[in-house]
């Protein structure tokens, strides 16, 4: 007899992206010249994981007895203050903010879903989204609703965003919007200043229909070219009506995926409301992971607060951003010359290329030893994991995969 409850039976053993990654690595181990553009970790041009030496120095500098002690449930106050400042800058959005430490951005997203949606309700996000949103939501008795991310001109579909949000608010009475900009995973898109303002205005209008909270998922924000003040200033205009949250993480910005350091932040002008939110998000920490990796919290706190360490990190991060930007530039040049259709891409770990048959495109590319991730209507390319010199071959394989998908579709219609 199966001891698992019914909903836990037949679960996939691994994330599909990790399965593609394993297939790519297995072929590479046989000596084949594989390009593995599946996994979201920044690799150097030799295929090694990019790390920041200053980050490791900070980890080594934390006294053993502090690192080994439990962290406060919500995280150490200096850590929270530094992270709030990193996300919101130094103005009113920062002054009005509270936070709780979480295991990465994943923990922050879970925490937000538990506190800003009733069980049975759905988050509201773009049609292309990081697939674990659905796992985190579903596992916690919440769902996912989406709006079409792009309009016919291939830019952010502001009208669909507002229409869908209002419709959801009329049904749910509340909404938790999750937007992963700058440097959206999986498309690479970054809202420009006018689009951020448009989103803020839409949120403000929608809030007349119910309680609205926005999570800005900042996972890749450090790898874009946009100043954080762009989104913060836009959201400041509606923060009296919309709970503005941020899912902050050190995973990519400090190249510390394994340390599991993150935070859920909330900027709420009303003091009583803010205190209630602070208690609620801390309570969720106690009721899930209890408290976070103390070594990581203390090290990241030092990295954000100590001038010398901050300067070291800034320099090392600049080198990583530049490594990635070279690949982004190479991709844009190659992809445009091959006529690939993809959203505006100015930086970030991923870009998505549209195709009428993503499975066929991925299959054709994989036959050439190039591994990408098929999604609905597009394939995702992890430029973060592809050497600059391999970008032309990556684009060539994907272009041939897209052409094959068009042929298959045209054949089916003939
Ligand atoms: C869009 C997005 N949000 C959040 C995360 C969370 O990452 P972590 O939990 O490592 O901070 C990721 C990681 O891949 C991501 O791609």
Show the tokens assigned to 403: 């052409």
Contact at 8 Å (CB) between 358 and 365?
Answer: no
Pocket lining: 40 vs ligand 1, CB cutoff 6 Å:
yes
Contact at 8 Å (CB) between 369 and 33?
Answer: yes
Read off the pLDDT of residues 200-219 as tens digits, 9 standing for 90 and up.
999 999 999 999 999 999 99
Closest C-alpha among 81, 27, 94, 14 to residue 300: 81
Read off the pLDDT of residues 335-378 as tens digits, 9 standing for 90 and up.
999 999 999 999 999 999 999 999 999 999 999 999 999 999 99
Closest C-alpha among 269, 272, 277, 271 to residue 176: 277
DSSP 244: E
3-state secondary structure 254-293: CCCHHHCCEEEEEECCCHHHHHHHHHHHHHHHHCCCCCCC
Ligand 1 centre distance from Cα of residue 30 (Å): 31
With residue 198 as reference, give the H or E element that holds it.
helix 193-206
Which one of 39, 108, 132 would you pick to mutate in the ligand 1 pocket, going by the greatest count of ligand atoms within 8 A of its CB? 132
**Would you place residue 413 in the very low, low, confident or very high pLDDT band (cuts 50, 70, 90)?**
low
pLDDT of residue 18: 87
Q: Cα–Cα distances in Å, from 105 out to 191, 210, 288? A: 20, 26, 15
Pocket lining: 401 vs ligand 1, CB cutoff 6 Å:
no
Q: String of b and e for 380-401 (b: at least 16 CB within 10 Å)?
A: bbbbbbbbbebbebbbebbbbb
213 beta partners: 176, 243
Long-range contacts formed by 267-271: CB under 8 A, 24+ apart? 267/88, 267/93, 267/94, 267/96, 267/97, 267/235, 267/239, 267/243, 268/96, 268/97, 268/98, 268/239, 268/243, 268/244, 269/92, 269/96, 269/239, 269/240
Contact at 8 Å (CB) between 138 and 284?
Answer: no
Q: Give the residue whose CA is nearest to atom 15 of ligand 1.
A: 219
Pocket lining: 264 vs ligand 1, CB cutoff 6 Å:
no
pLDDT surpassing 90 at residue 14: no
Closest C-alpha among 349, 387, 358 to residue 182: 349
Ligand 1 centre distance from Cα of residue 263 (Å): 12
Pocket lining: 122 vs ligand 1, CB cutoff 6 Å:
no
Half-sphere exposure of residue 339, counting CA atoms within 13 Å on the CB side? 4
Domain made up of 13-52+311-413: CATH architecture: Alpha-Beta Complex (3.90)
Ligand 1 centre distance from Cα of residue 55 (Å): 19
> At the topology level of CATH, where does 71-305 sit?
3.40.640
- Mean pLDDT, all residues of the chain: 96
pLDDT surpassing 70 at residue 414: no
Contact at 8 Å (CB) between 192 and 159?
Answer: no
176 beta partners: 123, 213
pLDDT surpassing 90 at residue 17: no
Q: Cα–Cα distances in Å, from 6 out to 2, 15, 134, 139? A: 9, 20, 19, 13
Contact at 8 Å (CB) between 317 and 153?
Answer: no
Closest C-alpha among 331, 292, 376, 336 to residue 107: 292
**For residues 34-61, average pLDDT:** 96
Closest C-alpha among 186, 166, 182 to residue 174: 166
Ligand 1 centre distance from Cα of residue 409 (Å): 34
Show the tokens assigned to 159: 């009208």
Ligand 1 centre distance from Cα of residue 218 (Å): 9
Q: Cα–Cα distances in Å, from 218 out to 126, 257, 356, 399, 402? A: 15, 14, 30, 30, 31
Residue holding tokens 């190039």? 370
Sequence-distant (6+) residues with CB within 8 A of 313 are 52, 54, 55, 254, 303
pLDDT surpassing 90 at residue 88: yes
pLDDT surpassing 80 at residue 412: no
Domain ranges in the chain are: 13-52+311-413, 71-305
Closest C-alpha among 235, 219, 243 to residue 98: 243
Show the tokens assigned to 272: 């009583």
Ligand 1 centre distance from Cα of residue 281 (Å): 19
Read off the pLDDT of residues 104-153 as tens digits, 9 standing for 90 and up.
999 999 999 999 999 999 999 999 999 999 999 999 999 999 999 999 99
């Amino acid at each position: 007899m199966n001891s698992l409850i019914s909903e836990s039976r037949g679960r996939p053993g691994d994330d599909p992206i990790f399965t593609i990654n394993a297939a790519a690595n297995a072929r590479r181990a046989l000596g084949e010249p594989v390009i593995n553009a599946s996994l979201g970790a920044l690799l150097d041009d030799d295929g090694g994981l990019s790390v920041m030496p200053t980050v490791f120095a900070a980890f080594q500098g934390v006294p053993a007895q502090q690192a080994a002690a439990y962290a406060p449930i919500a995280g150490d106050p200096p850590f929270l203050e530094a992270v709030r400042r990193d996300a919101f800058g130094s103005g009113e959005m920062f002054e009005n903010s509270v936070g709780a430490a979480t295991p990465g951005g994943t923990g922050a997203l879970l925490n937000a879903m538990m506190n800003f949606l009733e069980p049975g309700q759905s988050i509201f996000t773009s049609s292309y989204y990081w697939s674990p949103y659905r796992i985190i939501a579903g596992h916690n008795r919440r769902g996912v609703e989406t709006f079409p991310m792009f309009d016919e001109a291939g830019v952010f579909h502001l009208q669909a965003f507002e229409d869908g949000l209002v419709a959801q608010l009329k049904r749910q009475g509340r909404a938790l919007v999750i937007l992963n900009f700058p440097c959206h995973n999986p498309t690479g898109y970054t809202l420009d200043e006018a689009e951020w303002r448009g989103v803020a205005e839409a949120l403000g209008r929608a809030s007349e229909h119910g309680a609205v909270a926005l999570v800005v998922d900042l996972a890749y924000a450090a790898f874009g070219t946009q100043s954080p003040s762009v989104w913060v200033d836009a959201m400041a205009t509606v923060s009296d009506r919309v709970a503005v949250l941020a899912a902050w993480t050190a995973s990519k910005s400090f190249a510390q995926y394994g340390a599991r350091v993150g935070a859920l932040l909330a900027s709420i002008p009303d003091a009583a409301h803010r205190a209630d939110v602070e208690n609620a998000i801390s309570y969720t920490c106690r009721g899930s992971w209890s408290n976070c990796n103390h070594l990581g919290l203390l090290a990241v706190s030092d990295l954000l607060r100590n001038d010398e360490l901050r300067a070291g990190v800034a320099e090392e991060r600049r080198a990583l951003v530049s490594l990635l930007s070279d690949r982004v530039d190479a991709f844009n040049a190659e992809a445009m010359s091959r006529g690939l259709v993809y959203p505006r891409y100015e930086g970030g770990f991923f870009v998505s290329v549209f195709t009428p048959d993503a499975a066929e495109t991925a299959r054709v590319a994989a036959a050439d030893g190039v591994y990408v991730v098929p999604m609905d209507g597009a394939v995702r390319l992890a430029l973060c994991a592809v050497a600059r010199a391999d970008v032309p071959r990556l684009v060539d394989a994907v272009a041939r995969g897209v052409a094959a998908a068009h042929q298959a579709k045209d054949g089916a219609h003939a």
